[in-house]
Amino acid sequence: MTFRLRARPVIAALSVLALAACAQPPSARHTETGDGPTSPASSASSSATGAQAIRGFDFVHADWYDANGNATVRNGASASPEASDKSWAKVDEANAGNATQFGDLNGDGFADAVAWITVGNGSSYWHYAYVWLWDDAQHTAVQLHQPVTDDKQCGNVTKTLTISDAKITVDRLIRAGEACSDQPAHPVANTIAIEGGFPVRETPVRASTMPALAASSDAMQPGAQLKKPLKLAPAADAPELDLGQVSFIVLGGQRGTLDNGFHQVLFRASGDPVTWYTAYTDEIQ
């Protein structure tokens, strides 16, 4: 299946904000303290059984992990107690956003899902898609913490997302200085697979799916600065990227911006001077 964005991001954000303003506050919320590969099994359940049971899962009322805010959020609810008057979240539904996509992504015989949520603070927002793997033993879906898209206000835009043969293909437009009122102009196609419980970009270059922070340093040679392979998520058990596959890196975020003890690094794919791809190291503090 393929989706296409139904509204320009600014218009969509205004409608989401209006919905969030009318929502009731959450009955409970908490902030994550670490970056494991998955969230705990959701308290939401499915009304269906069998290989397609996830199609009956209640994504709207599930607890979601927000990678940008490092917090657990719920539909229509505040993302943090400290900003309860400004933070909001809205899970996409088929009639109000991008439809959830289904397919067996980890080869266990059960369909999994890629679903979308918009989280914002005031008028600023980010619109990420996440993988949810079906846990048949617990009869629920488990969210992976790393988003597979990086859409945000005045940022990149996803054109299409499809699932086929255990792969996720995302066609993106990368922003490179265009005005916020204009669509980004630089097209990129990424193929993503689940590896060891983590989503990993496979094309056009092996990389993390985590959104890139702002580049904050000049280029450095990874072999001269680092000794260990890069990680493809901020976690010790994440898949790795050999240093020999990267010709240069820059820091993502200011030096000392750590996620679970890991610093983000950025690099380019060959022939693409616009798109930043991400990985992580615990050798830069």
- Reading the chain (285 residues) residue by residue, the pLDDT tens digits are 444 443 333 334 333 333 332 222 222 222 233 344 566 555 565 567 799 999 999 999 999 999 999 999 999 865 444 445 578 999 998 778 899 999 999 999 999 999 999 999 888 999 999 999 999 999 999 999 999 999 999 999 999 999 999 999 999 999 999 999 999 999 999 999 999 999 999 999 999 999 999 999 878 888 888 999 999 999 999 999 999 999 999 999 999 999 999 999 999 999 999 999 999 999 998
Is residue 113 situated within a structural domain? yes
Q: Which of 208, 200, 205 is nearest to 188 (CA)?
A: 205
Is residue 205 situated within a structural domain? no
Same domain for 140 and 253? no
Question: Domains in the chain: how many in total?
Answer: 2
Torsion of CA 262, 144, 77, 115, to 10 degrees: 130
Is residue 245 situated within a structural domain? yes
Same domain for 36 and 146? yes
Greatest CA separation for the chain: 54
Same domain for 8 and 75? yes
**Which residue range forms the structural domain that includes residue 117?**
1-158
Compute φ and ψ for 80, nearest 5 degrees.
-155, 145
Same domain for 148 and 21? yes
CA pair distance 104, 232, nearest whole angstrom: 22
Q: Is the pTM of this model over 0.75?
A: yes
Is residue 199 situated within a structural domain? no
Residue 255 is encoded by which pair of tokens?
């030096």
Same domain for 11 and 123? yes
Is residue 191 situated within a structural domain? no
Amino acid at the residue 127: H
Burial profile 243-260: b = 16 or more Cβ within 10 angstroms, e = fewer: beebeebbbbbeeeeebb
Question: Among positive and negative, which fits the CA dihedral 275, 98, 3, 193?
Answer: positive
Is residue 255 situated within a structural domain? yes
